[in-house]
Amino acid sequence: MEPSSPLLDIRDLTVSFGDGRFQAVKGVDFQLFSGEVVGLVGESGSGKSLTAFSLMGLLPHGARLDRGAMIFQGQDLVALDRRTRRELCGRRMGMVFQEPLTALNPVLTIGEQTAEIFRLRDGRSAKEARRLAVELLGQVGLPNPERAAESYPHRFSGGMRQRVVIAMALALKPALVIADEPTTALDPTIAAQIVRLLKNMAAERRATVLFITHNLKLLAGLARRVMVMYAGRLVEQTGADFADPLHPYAQGLLKAIPPDPADRSVTRLAPIPGQPSSLADDRPGCPFEPRCPERRDRCARELPPMFELPDGRLVRCFQRAPQGDGQAALRPAAQADVPPCSG
């Protein structure tokens, strides 16, 4: 049973470029509940990072939030003034980026920048902040944290830097941590350690984690739910066991995972045929239709709504609709109840 009120409730999130001409995130709806780890997967350009950046208030130059609500702990982030939002996001949300170097300041030592969080955002004295920083660096597995605190980021390996970034993101015990492809720059063994660390740190602090990746294998044993994005839209939400996805795109994604070298029964990858969708594509139907092995005439004309299956899974595909007739949609594709926003 889900608790009744979600930690985060995203409704109709829509982000565009070019003064609204190119929509990169199209009416995304989802909820996150306290303490869960949820995966967000999809191929490059599907809008995963823009969804995360919208939440953190960090949209890149040229991107515009067209519509949507982001209710976090009962407050709509979109309606907050800049300062309140920055303070709230700084304390209650943490972000772990793909490339840790971009998140670290090259001219401050690891200890200085970690201590700064406790000093500036938590009002601790310089001495107390330093003590907490060293303690935290030890907790994320840096050997000899006293000495590590004196080092500059460039002295560290990628895996060690990512440990520091995780420490900083979780320092103030945020309610929500967004990890955007935190392990793509790391080799697989280190990546597995980093995922474990993030999971354990978040569990100790009871933080909710939104884990963004294009690597479905990483989500095994980590996520409680998986959401799949394609061409700016959520196309599936399912349980953690992603062995049997519903959407034809998600099924293709699963077949395209490189096989485990130890598993000799799988000898070939099956890449999804066709080109990934582009921002300029404004055809009316399902965005996956041109590549879909199960397409019907209707798919080219009409965008499927999100259907809810009896077991609670959600899928945006006419072929998977309950009774196959498209009558049991969770919500109509065009939502009218969320006002446009100016930001």
Ligand X SMILES: Nc1ncnc2c1ncn2[C@@H]1O[C@H](COP(=O)(O)OP(=O)(O)OP(=O)(O)O)[C@@H](O)[C@H]1O
Q: Write down the least CB distance from residue 308 to ligand X, Å.
A: 25
Q: Write down the least CB distance from residue 54 to ligand X, Å.
A: 9
For residues 304 and 27, the answer to whether their CB atoms sit within 8 Å is no
Residue 49 in the binding site for Mg ion (CB under 5 A): yes
Residue 65 or 133 with smaller CB distance to Mg ion: 65
Give which of ligand X, Mg ion, none residue 214 binds (C-beta under 5 to 8 Å, depending on kind). Answer: ligand X
Residue 214 or 331 with smaller CB distance to Mg ion: 214
Residue 99 or 302 with smaller CB distance to ligand X: 99
For residues 199 and 209, the answer to whether their CB atoms sit within 8 Å is yes
Point out which residues bind ligand X (CB under 6 A): 17, 24, 42, 44-50, 60, 62-63, 214, 279
Long-range contacts from 316-319, C-beta under 8 angstroms, 24+ separation: 316/233, 316/234, 316/235, 316/236, 316/247, 316/286, 317/235, 317/246, 317/247, 317/248, 317/286, 318/286, 319/248, 319/294
Q: Which range touches Mg ion (CB under 5 A), out of 47-55, 150-158, 182-190, 229-237?
A: 47-55
Residue 96 or 115 with smaller CB distance to Mg ion: 96
Residue 48 or 247 with smaller CB distance to ligand X: 48
What backbone torsions phi and psi does residue 115 show, to the nearest 5 degrees?
-65, -35
Residue 12 or 111 with smaller CB distance to ligand X: 12
Q: Write down the least CB distance from residue 42 to ligand X, Å.
A: 6
Q: How far is the C-alpha of 166 from the C-alpha of 193, rounded, in Å?
A: 12
Joined together, the tokens standing for residue 70 give: 């982001």
Q: How far is the C-alpha of 164 from the C-alpha of 150, rounded, in Å?
A: 13
Sheet arrangement for strand 8-17: 22-32, 8-17, 64-72, 75-76
Q: Which range touches Mg ion (CB under 5 A), out of 48-56, 63-71, 201-209, 273-281?
A: 48-56
Give which of Mg ion, ligand X, none residue 44 binds (C-beta under 5 to 8 Å, depending on kind). Answer: ligand X
Q: Write down the least CB distance from residue 178 to Mg ion, Å.
A: 11
# residues contacting Mg ion (CB under 5 A): 1
In which element (H, E) is residue 25 found?
strand 22-32
Give which of ligand X, Mg ion, none residue 62 binds (C-beta under 5 to 8 Å, depending on kind). Answer: ligand X
Residue 182's contacts (CB-CB under 8 Å, 6 or more residues apart) are 96, 97, 98, 162, 165, 166, 194, 195, 198, 211
Give which of Mg ion, ligand X, none residue 295 binds (C-beta under 5 to 8 Å, depending on kind). Answer: none
Give the interface with Mg ion as residue ranges (CB under 5 A).
Answer: 49
